[in-house]
Structures are given as C-alpha cells and as structure tokens.
Amino acid sequence: MKFIYILYQYLIAFPLLWVWTMFVAITTITFSHWNKAIWLNRFISFWARTFLWAFFIPVSVTGLENIKKGQSYIFIANHQSMFDIWTIYGWLPVTFRWLMKQELRKIPFVGTACKMLGHVFIKRGSATAARESLMIVEKTLQDGICTVIFPEGTRSLDGQVGPFKKGAFRIALDLNLPIIPISLSGCFDVLNKKAGYVHRHPIHMHVGKPILPEQFDRENPQNTIDFIREEVIKNIKK
C-alpha cells in the first residue's frame, strides 16, 4: 500500500496539484484588484484544502472561537512543513497577509499572485530589508486584515520548535495589536524538510487565546516572546 501511495503522489497528485495551482495563481492575478473580496479568499482557501484532500490527510481544528470577527490580529505559528501553509490557508477563517521568504517570489505565476494579493516578501539575512518588510506589513493591518508569521524563520529540521525572532512582537508593539498563537501538530510527520514524499498522518491546528497588548512586557520584550513560544508549544499534540 505504501508503494501505491507514493506512486499515486508522483503520477497523479503532484502533477494535478501543480496544474491546479497554476490555474489558481492566474485567476488570482486576473482578479487581484478584488483582493479583499470574500469569494476570492474562499477560492484560495479551497485551493489550499485540496492539497490535504489530495493526499487523504485528515485535518482537525480547535480554538476558532478565540477569533473575534473584524479584529486585526498577528498570528504566529510553529513551522514544521509546507503543509503548515496549506493548513493555515485552508482552515484559518480570516483575511490575512503572509510574511514570506523572498525565494518564493521566483515561482512562476505563484510569486506574482502572492505579490498582487498583498503578501510581503522578506529578505532573510538582512536586518534593514527585514525591517522594511515589517513596515509594509504594518500598513495593511486594519479593518480586520491580519498577518501570519512563522517566527522561527524556517522549517524545523527535527520537529521541535526553535527560537522565535522578534519581528511579530515588533509589529504588535507598533500597532498595539493582539497576538494569537497557532499550534500545528502532525505537519512534520506528513512532510518534513528532508522527506521525498508525503506520509499520511493527521494534522491538528489549535488557535490559542489572544495575548493582548496590555499583557506585553515592554521593558523586557524577550519575556513576552518566550511566553508566546511556550503557548505555541503547550498546545502541540504529541
């Protein structure tokens, strides 16, 4: 069965999903002037869900009641796999902008679609460029528009949650916005950074309670960053 599943991935799932992604990207570019339209966001959410459905990956979500409609948030999540992106895109019911690595901009059509939708590319390794990217993100966070950030900066090599960078916290401080931690479980088991094919394993996404600006330790920001990281870790299913 494992051999058949792997064969299915390379002969059917991956080719079809690539064609589907190109179609979605071109459609998104065509209608990007409606980037706040509910139908376009739902269309992209449906696209993301098809990746999980195509590989028969069950997804469960808890904590959506912690999201207040119309409120802008900074969502921060642990980063285990490419499936983190599709899970969040498919099951997080808000309009948001990604803060994503610069390399993704080079993907044909996909990079252009992301730019047209308002997602922000960040050049890793450059503090100045990173700060400029954060300022661009800040300008979009109003009227219920949110952002999603992977504060580890890259996918985990061993499934463990790495140190968090300060970018998300800086945005929250500048704009006085609440931070919501997202705990992703199972994505590493589905497709880790070194894997050559997808493994069928359940994925769970937990949306935590908002951490409000009045809870921030402004004198020692690292205390807040460490607290948020612990909130992410404690809700990851073992």
Spatial separation of the C-alpha atoms in residues 134 and 122, rounded to whole Å: 8
The pLDDT score that the predictor gives to residue 227 is 94
Comparing C-alpha atoms, which of 112, 122, 125 is closest to residue 148? 122
Structural domains of the chain, count: 1
Q: What is the largest CA-CA distance in the chain?
A: 56
Spatial separation of the C-alpha atoms in residues 202 and 68, rounded to whole Å: 27
- pTM for the complete prediction? 0.91
Q: Angle of helix 82-91 relative to helix 38-54, nearest 10 degrees? A: 130
Radius of gyration of the chain (CA): 17
The pLDDT score that the predictor gives to residue 225 is 93
Residue partners of 108: CB distance under 8 A and separation at least 6: 22
The pLDDT score that the predictor gives to residue 52 is 97
Whole-Å CA distances, 90 to 41, 150, 174: 10, 16, 29
The pLDDT score that the predictor gives to residue 36 is 62
Structural domain range at position 56 = 2-234
pLDDT beneath 50: ranges in the chain = none
CA contacts within 13 A on the Cβ side of 4:
1
* Residue 70 backbone zone (phi > 0: left; psi -120 to 50: alpha; other: beta): left
The pLDDT score that the predictor gives to residue 130 is 65
- CATH at residue 90: 3.40.1130.10
Reading the block at residue 218, the tokens are: 């402004």
The pLDDT score that the predictor gives to residue 126 is 60
pLDDT per residue as tens digits for the range 51-78: 999 999 999 999 999 999 889 999 999 9
HEC assignment per residue over the chain: CHHHHHHHHHHHHHHHHHHHHHHHHHHHHHCHHHCCCHHHHHHHHHHHHHHHHHCCCCEEEECHHHCCCCCCCEEEECCCCHHHHHHHHHHCCCCEEEEEEHHHHHCCCHHHHHHHCCCEEECCCCHHHHHHHHHHHHHHCCCCCEEEECCCCCCCCCCCCCCCCCHHHHHHHHHCCCEEEEEEECHHHHCCCCCCCCCCCCEEEEECCCECHHHCCCCCHHHHHHHHHHHHHHCCCC
